[in-house]
Amino acid sequence: MSTTNGLIGQSVKRVEDKRFITGMGRYTDDIILPLQTYTSFVRSFYAHAKIVSVDTSAAAKMPGVVAIFTGADVAAINGVPCGWQVNFKNGDTMKEPKHPLLVADKVRHAGDAVAMVIAETREQAKDAAEAVMVEYVELPVVVNAAEAVKPGAPLVHDDVPNNICFDWELGNPKSEVDEAMSKATHVTTLEFVNQRMVANAIEPRSYIGSYDAANEKYTLYTSTQNPHLIRLLLCAFVLGIPEHKVRVVGPDVGGGFGSKIFHYTEEALVTWASKKINRPVKWTAERSESFLLDAHGRDHITKAEMGFDNDGKIEALRVKTFANLGAYLSSFGPCVPTYLHGTLLQGLYTTPKINVDVTGVFTNTTVVDAYRGAGRPEATYLLERLIDLAALEMGKDPVELRYKNFIPPFDGVNQPGYQTQVALQYDSGNYEGVLTKGLEMLGYADFRAKQMEAVRNGKLLGVGFSTYIEACGIAPSAVVGSLGARAGLYEVGQVRVQPTGKVSVFTGSHSHGQGHETTFAQVVAGKLGIPMEDVEIIHGDSDSVAFGMGTYGSRSIAVGGTAIVKSIEKIVEKGKIIAAHKLEASAGDIDFADGKFTVKGTDKSIGFADIALTAYVPHVYPKDLEPGLDFSSFYDPANFTFPFGCHIAVVEVEKETGKVILKRFIAVDDVGNIINPMIVEGQIHGGLVQGIGQALFEGAEYDDNGQLTNGSYMDYCMPRADDFPVFETASQVTPCPHNPLGVKGAGEAGAIGSTPAVVNAVIDALWSGGHKVKDIRMPLTSERVWKAMQ
C-alpha cells in the first residue's frame, strides 16, 4: 500500500490545538454533573501509625455532609491490584499485601486515607473532613530501601519479613560475572542514588463517579492514560461489578508522564460511593495531595561495577539495586526496577557478561511506579555514568571508549537482531551514527582545547555524553506474560468509513499531549489518500472505543498506530472487491493509490468515497459480501521497539558557588520512521527538561519521620523556562523492521538519555579543575557541587 498524499512525514499543525488555545478543552474537573457531590479525604499526617479510633460523629453533623465512609465500610472490598508479578530468585511469588481503598488498621505512609467525606460543596467536604477525629499511635518509620531490609527495621506490613517484596536477578550467572570481573584489568565502581521523582503533571488527578440506577450502570470520568485498563482493574479486581455495566471516560487529560497509568484508590471509591448515595461524586486532588499520592518514580540505591580489559573493552557488568516500592504495590511497581531496568543493562555495548540483582522493598513512603522512561532512565544513568567515569579513571576519551564497545550497526532485516545478555533482542540499530552526528554538532574536535583554555582562565567547563537505548512499543503479550504481566499489551484500532467517505477512527491509545489526533489522522489520511479533515480520531471513552490498553512506554504509534494500519489494510482489501465488482475486473487486478481504486494498466478507476457509499448502499454489490466498511483490529507486536540516541551536555560550573550552568544540550535521537517531525521534536524537548530536571533540580526528599519535606511547588524545584538553553536536536532514522510504519516511539527518549549526560558533564568539568570526584548525588544543587569541590 503506497502513501500517496505526502501527509506521512510532514510537520502538520495539530488539529487538537484549537480547543486548548481557546479555553475549550474539557478536562475531568471541568465537568459538573447534575446533583454532583464533592469528596474530601481524611489523610494521615503520620507515615506509620496504628489507628486506634475514627470518630465521624461531629463531622456527620456538619453543614452539607451527605455521607462519610471509613476503612470499616470498605473492609470487604478488594484493594487496588498490582498488574505485574515478579518472583523471588527461589521461585516464590512476590509479597503482595492488600492496598485497601481506605485504611482501617494502620497507616503506612503520610497521606494514606482513613475516611472519605462527601458533601454538597467542595468547601463543606473539606470542613467536615477536618472535623473527623482520628486517634493514632505512632510507629517507627523506615523510608530508605537499603535500611528497610536490615534486621530489626520497622515492618511496613507485618507479614512481609524484612520489608522485602521480592529479590530478583537477570543475566548471566553471578559466578560467571564474578569471574569475568576478577580478570578485568580495570574496574570502575559507582555507588549512587537514582533519586525519587514526582511526575507533576500540571493537571491534578480528578475523578467523577456516577451511577445510573435505571440502567444499573456506572460511569467514571477519570484523568487517566488508559481508560479501558482502569475499567478492567476496577471491575474485575476491585469492585467485582460487571464490565459491560461500567463506562470509563478519560476526557482531555493534562499530562501524565506515567503517573496517570495506574489505578488509584480514589477512582474505585468515587465509583463505589456514587451508587451508595445515588448521586455523582467528584474528587479533584489538590497539589499537596498530588505530591503525596501520585505514584513517584525512580528511587534506586545501586552499586554498579564495570570491568574492562587492557584495551578498554567492557568485560563484565555487575549491578546490585535496592528499589524502593513505597508502602504498597502500585499497578506496575514491581515491573519497573526489574523488567524495565535490568533488561536494558546491555545498553549499546557488547558486554559479554552481565548480572543484575534487584531487591524490591516496602517503605513508609508514597508508592513508586513508572515515571517517564520507567526503569530505562535508571539503566541508562547507571551505564552512561560508569562509562564516562571509567574513561576519566583510565585516562581515555569517553567517545573512543564508546566506539570501541558499540554493538555494530544492524538493520534487523539483512542482519539479525542483537541478542542481549539480559533477555531482549534489539530490533535494529546504528549506534555509531548517532554519536558521530552528535560530535559533529558539538564540534568535539575543538572542545578539549576550549576546556583547557577555560581552566587557564580559572573556569570549569565540562562535556558529558550519554548514548542510550530504550525498549518501547510495549509489548508482545506472550513475552510480557512469561515475565509476569497480568495483562496483554496489544492495542486496538477501529477504522469506520462512513457512507460519505469520511472516516472515524477509534483507538485505545489515549492522547494527553502526544498529539494522536493529528499523528494518527496523518497515518489514516495518508494511507487512504484522503484529506486530513475527512478523518476524526476518537479515543478515551470505553463505550465508543471497542477496547484498548492505553498510552505508556512510548507505545502509541508503534502498537496503536499499527492496529489502525491493520484495519486500513482490511478496508482497502474489501474496497478492492467492491471496486472489482463495479469495474468488472478481478480484485487481484485492482490497485489502490491516491484515494482511487484502479484497474491495473487502465484508466478505469473509482474513488474512495464512491466505494464507501456503495458499501453502505449495496445495490450493485458483490454476492456474499457483507455491506459496510468498518474494521477493527487487535495488534500484538512481534517485539519491543528499540529507539536509541546520543545526548551531549556542555556545562560550566561556577567555582565560587558550585552553580551549574547548562550551556548547550545536543540530542540526536533515532526513533525509527517519523510521522510528524514537529510532534516528535516536541516530545523530545519535554523529555529533555524532565531528564535534565532530575540531574539539576528535582527530587522528592523524605525526613526520618517519613514526611515528604518538599511536597509543594514552594519546595520541589520544578524546571522553569530560564533554566535551559535553546536545545539542539537532530534525528537519524533506522526503521523498525517489525511494524509496517517502521516506527519506534518517541515519548520517553528525552527523559532517558539526558540525565547522565548532564551529570557526566559536571563531573568532567570538576576533573578538568583537578577535583577528582566520582559522584555527586542528584539533583546537583550548587551546595552539593560546591561541597564536592572542597
Residue found by looking up cell 502538520 in the block: 12
* Interaction of residue 686 with other proteins, rule CB under 8 A: yes
Question: Does 678 contact other proteins by CB under 8 A?
Answer: yes
* 781 belongs to the binding site for other proteins (CB under 8 A): no
d(CA 490, CA 637): 7
Does the protein bind other proteins through residue 786 (CB under 8 A)?
A: no
- Strand 37-43 to strand 281-284: parallel, antiparallel, or no bridges (unpaired)? parallel
Nearest-CA neighbor of 759 among 312, 375, 344, 386? Answer: 386
Query: Is position 266 an interface residue for other proteins (rule: CB under 8 A)?
Result: no
- Strand ranges (E), 88-205: 106-107, 113-119, 133-138, 164-171, 186-197
Q: Are 548 and 600 in contact (CB under 8 A)?
A: no
Collapsing DSSP to helix, strand or coil, 610 comes out as helix
Asked if 600 touches other proteins (CB under 8 A), the answer is no
Per-residue binder mask for other proteins (CB under 8 A), 696-725, x = binder: ----------------xxx---x-xxx-x-
Which residue, 279 or 516, has its beta carbon nearer to other proteins? 516
Q: Is 515 in the site for other proteins (CB under 8 A)?
A: yes
**CA–CA gap between residue 172 and residue 240 (Å, rounded):** 42
Put residue 602 in one of left, alpha, beta given phi > 0 → left and psi -120 to 50 → alpha.
Answer: beta
32 binds other proteins (CB under 8 A): yes
What's the min distance (Å) between Cβ of 60 and other proteins? 22
Nearest distance in Å: CB 330, other proteins: 20
Parallel/antiparallel/unpaired status of strands 596-599 and 605-607: antiparallel
Is 151 within 8 Å of 108 (Cβ atoms)? no
Q: Which of 251, 283, 222, 284 is nearest to 25 (CA)?
A: 251
Q: Is 213 in the site for other proteins (CB under 8 A)?
A: no
CB of 721 to other proteins, least distance (A): 4
| Amino acid making up residue 363 | T
Applying CB under 8 A, does 123 fall inside the site for other proteins? yes
In whole angstroms, give the CA distance from residue 77 to residue 33. 26
Question: Judged by CB under 8 A, does residue 257 bind other proteins?
Answer: yes
Stretches 9-17, 326-334, 483-491, 592-600: which one binds other proteins (CB under 8 A)?
9-17
Which of the stretches 348-356, 381-389, 610-618, 684-692 binds other proteins when contact is defined by CB under 8 A? 684-692
Could you tell me the sign of the dihedral formed by the alpha carbons of 778, 666, 203, 488, in that order? negative
Tell me how far apart the alpha carbons of residues 684 and 692 are, in angstroms, rounded to a whole number: 12
Helix (H) or strand (E) holding 532: none
Contact between 13 and other proteins per CB under 8 A: yes
Taking CB under 8 A as the rule, which mask of x and - marks residues 518-557 in contact with other proteins?
Answer: ----------------------------------------
Among 24, 72, 452, 617, contact with other proteins (rule: CB under 8 A): 24
> Is 517 near other proteins (CB under 8 A)?
no
Interaction between residue 169 and other proteins (CB under 8 A): no
Integer Cα distance of 482 and 480 in angstroms = 5
Please report, as residue ranges, which positions from 724 to 753 form the binding site for other proteins (by CB under 8 A): 724, 726-727, 750
Burial readout 250-269 (b: 16 or more C-beta within 10 A, e: otherwise): bbbbbbbbbbbbbbbbbbbb
Cell numbers given for 424: 531482549
Tell me, residue by residue from 267 to 306, as one string, x for binding to other proteins by CB under 8 A and - for no binding: -----------------x-xx-------------------
Q: Does 35 bind other proteins (CB under 8 A)?
A: no
Asked if 690 is part of the footprint of other proteins (rule: CB under 8 A), the reply reads: yes
The answer to whether residue 63 forms part of the interface with other proteins (CB under 8 A) is no
Q: In what order do the strands lie in the sheet with 590-593?
A: 590-593, 596-599, 605-607
Rank residues 12 and 148 by Cβ distance to other proteins and give the closer one.
12
- To other proteins, the closest distance from the beta carbon of 204 in angstroms equals 7
Q: How far apart are CA 132 and CA 129, in angstroms?
A: 5
In this complex, which beta carbon is closest to other proteins, that of residue 2 or of residue 121? Answer: 121
Asked if residue 205 lies in contact with residue 266, where contact means CB atoms within 8 angstroms, the answer is: yes
Tell me the window of 58-66, 201-209, 363-371, 373-381 that interacts with other proteins (CB under 8 A). 201-209
Q: Minimum distance from CB of 519 to other proteins (Å)?
A: 12
Q: Nearer Cβ to other proteins, position 111 or 769?
A: 111
Reduced 3-state DSSP string for 288-357: HHHHHHCCEEEEEEEEEEEEECCCCCEEEEEEEEEEEEECCCCCCCCCCCCCCCHHHCCCCECCCCEEEE
Beta bridge partners of residue 119, listed in sequence order = 38, 65
Position 9 contacts other proteins (CB under 8 A): no
Nearer to other proteins, 183 or 720 (CB): 720
Among 79, 83, 254, 476, binds other proteins (CB under 8 A): 254
Nearest to 200 by CA among 284, 262, 290: 290
Give the number of residues in contact with other proteins, rule: CB under 8 A. Answer: 59
- Using CB under 8 A, pick the residue from 34, 151, 202, 395 that binds other proteins: 202
- CA 139/CA 389 separation, integer angstroms: 42
Q: What is the DSSP string of 361-406?
A: EE-SS--B---TTTTHHHHHHHHHHHHHHHHHHHT--HHHHHHHHB
Choice between 478 and 661, CB closer to other proteins: 661
Cβ-based nearer residue to other proteins, 520 or 592: 520
Residue 661 in contact with other proteins, rule: CB under 8 A: no
Of the residues 115, 475, 679, 788, which one makes contact with other proteins according to CB under 8 A: 679
Among 4, 7, 8, 14, binds other proteins (CB under 8 A): 14
CB of 446 to other proteins, least distance (A): 25
Which positions ≥6 away from 82 have C-beta within 8 Å?
96, 99, 329, 330, 331, 332, 333, 334, 486
The nearer residue to other proteins, 305 or 652, going by C-beta atoms, is 652
Can residue 34 be called a binding residue for other proteins (CB under 8 A)?
no
Asked if residue 64 binds other proteins (CB under 8 A), the reply is no
Contact between 255 and other proteins (CB under 8 A)? yes
Q: Which is nearer to other proteins, 570 or 663 (CB)?
A: 663
* Residue from 513, 645, 711, 756 in contact with other proteins (CB under 8 A): 513
Find all residues with CB under 8 Å of 298, minimum gap 6, and list them. 194, 195, 196, 197, 368, 371, 377, 378, 694
Q: Which stretch binds other proteins (CB under 8 A): 148-156, 200-208, 546-554, 604-612?
A: 200-208
Closest CB to other proteins among residues 621, 727 = 727
In the numeric block, the cell 569475568 is attached to 180
Chain positions contacting other proteins, by CB under 8 A? 13-14, 16-27, 29-30, 32, 122-123, 199-204, 252-255, 257, 284, 286-287, 512-515, 678-679, 681-683, 685-690, 712-714, 718, 720-722, 724, 726-727, 750
